[in-house]
Amino acid sequence: MLKLSSNNFYKNHSNELIKFYNTQFKTLHIINGNDQSRHLFSKNTTFFVKEGEDLIEKLDKTEIYDQLILTNFIENSQDFVKTFPKYEQLLSENNKVIISSINSKWNIFVVVLATLKIIKSRRPKNYITKKTIENTFKGFGYTLTKNYTRQIFPFKLFYIGTAINIILEILFFRFNLGLKSYYVFVKNNSNNKKTASKTLLIPAKNEEGNLDELINRINLDSETQIIFIIAKSKDKTLEKAQEISKNNKEFKFLVLEQNSDGKKNAVNEALPYVENELVAILDSDISVDPEELNNFFEIIEKDLGDFVNGTRLIYSMEKGAMRLLNNFGNRIFQKFVSFVIKENITDTLCGTKVFKKELIETILLWDKNTFYKDPFGDFNFIFAASSIGERIVDYPIHYRSRTYGSPQISRFRDGYKLFLNFLNSIVKLNASKY
């Protein structure tokens, strides 16, 4: 029977919002009207607004939140332009606003389905388009970083509705045809540069001859935390890292011995030891100029982005820096990933990245819940950042040929793993999870 699959519908709806409940962010969630997903959220941070109720009078004005989630706010609020600034008073300077609402493309169908009693719903009070929502919040000083929809086919249909819905979501994710629409806005504060504390992660395997030069070329303040993650090596990479840690007093060093294989696992093992606000990943082969890290950090410190991704495919490379087949594969993956996340990423496999510490939890969860693992972690970082609407910024770098050691990449084996991970990520990013 063609009936709204209410249990799955609201469970999926809640799952989309719960993924924004990062423990490192203090979140305020406000639900307008009768939403059947209410019981799935924490009562400590979630408030339910009845029609005509002014919730702001009941909230503790001394509480400051990092994120605001508004469910059914746009369609049910009698004056959301007037109401939102009241809620904004409770938010930190660099905050994020997540809005869930009925997709405006479905408005007329909701009316028809409700009239035919196929769904128990009433027509939204406000017919608001995506452009109107974007422009309204632009006026509040926000930038839209992500917009997507879920649940193209939210019906049971003899118990196969769920499967049909997932297939349709994957096939037509670019068209935003789902019943529920989700918006992620980030507050603009680009005029206020704030210096942040920094942690640098350096995975290394068979890189003994590069470490001294690498550290000597890092131009960061003395409070910078540098974490070496050393894999089992044929040379004395571990001993060299320990020597640097003991003798170099310019930075705060930590040397970790990697327990598993692969660059992704190396970084994941180091992430729990991060102490500072911003995190950088830098390969130890000096193929990227360490001096350029300052520019990466500055983008986030100026609040021009949340995740800075290095790209090697803009400037001309040094001869021998990247093998022809690797270059071709990188460009193919760049096109695929950009298409899926709906952002123009010019290099998805560059090892140089800088992001906020708050993203760590999402990165680790993304990897944990991915069946086909990314051997390098680059896809994990990008997909995790995109999934919660982080502002991703491409930054061009000069790519050099290494002077010591040899590449640690297996073109065909690792390429195959990346492809499987990519397919897995398409499903994770664009399909409902019942």
Q: Encode 71-118 in three state secondary structure.
A: ECHHHHCCCHHHHHHHHHCCEEEEEEEEEEEECHHHHHHHHHHHHCCC
Q: In whole angstroms, how far apart are CA 301 and each of 79, 173, 350, 360?
A: 35, 33, 21, 18
Note whether residue 227 is domain-resident: yes
What pLDDT tens digit does each residue of the chain (434 aa) get? 455 566 778 888 888 888 888 878 888 888 876 556 555 666 556 666 665 566 677 777 788 999 999 988 887 777 888 888 888 989 998 899 999 988 888 877 766 776 777 666 554 456 678 888 898 899 999 999 999 999 998 888 877 888 999 999 999 999 999 989 999 999 987 777 788 999 999 999 999 999 999 999 999 998 999 999 999 999 999 999 999 999 998 999 999 999 998 999 999 999 999 999 999 999 999 999 999 999 999 999 999 999 999 999 988 888 888 888 888 888 999 999 999 999 889 999 999 999 999 999 999 999 998 888 888 899 999 999 999 999 999 999 999 988 787 777 776 788 888 999 999 999 999 998 75
Q: Are residues 258 and 368 in the same domain?
A: yes
Note whether residue 365 is domain-resident: yes
Q: Are residues 150 and 235 in the same domain?
A: no
Among 158, 187, 216, the domain-final residue is 187
Q: Are residues 128 and 31 in the same domain?
A: yes
8-state DSSP, 284: T
Note whether residue 49 is domain-resident: yes
- Kindly report the number of other CB atoms within 10 A of residue 188's CB atom: 16
The residues near 138 (Cβ < 8 Å, ≥ 6 apart) are: 144
Q: Are residues 143 and 218 in the same domain?
A: no
CATH number at residue 319: 3.90.550.10
Q: Are residues 155 and 223 in the same domain?
A: no
Q: Are residues 153 and 250 in the same domain?
A: no
Could you give the number of structural domains in the chain?
Answer: 2
Q: Are residues 257 and 283 in the same domain?
A: yes
Q: Are residues 137 and 261 in the same domain?
A: no
What is the rounded distance in angstroms from the CA atom of residue 418 to the CA atom of residue 236? 30
CATH number at residue 14: 3.40.50.150
Q: Are residues 407 and 320 in the same domain?
A: yes
Q: Are residues 164 and 257 in the same domain?
A: no
Q: Which residues pair with 356 in a beta bridge?
A: 278
Q: Is the dihedral of CA 248, 250, 254, 258 positive or negative?
A: negative
Lookup: tokens for 263: 């660059």
8-state DSSP, 318: P
Q: In whole angstroms, how far apart are CA 362 and each of 21, 252, 373?
A: 10, 26, 15
Among 187, 220, 235, the domain-final residue is 187
Note whether residue 207 is domain-resident: yes
Q: Are residues 159 and 223 in the same domain?
A: no
Residue 103: domain span? 6-187
Residues 77, 126 contacting (CB under 8 angstroms): yes
Note whether residue 307 is domain-resident: yes
Among 187, 207, 231, the domain-final residue is 187
Residue 34 CA to chain centroid, in angstroms?
A: 30
Note whether residue 1 is domain-resident: no
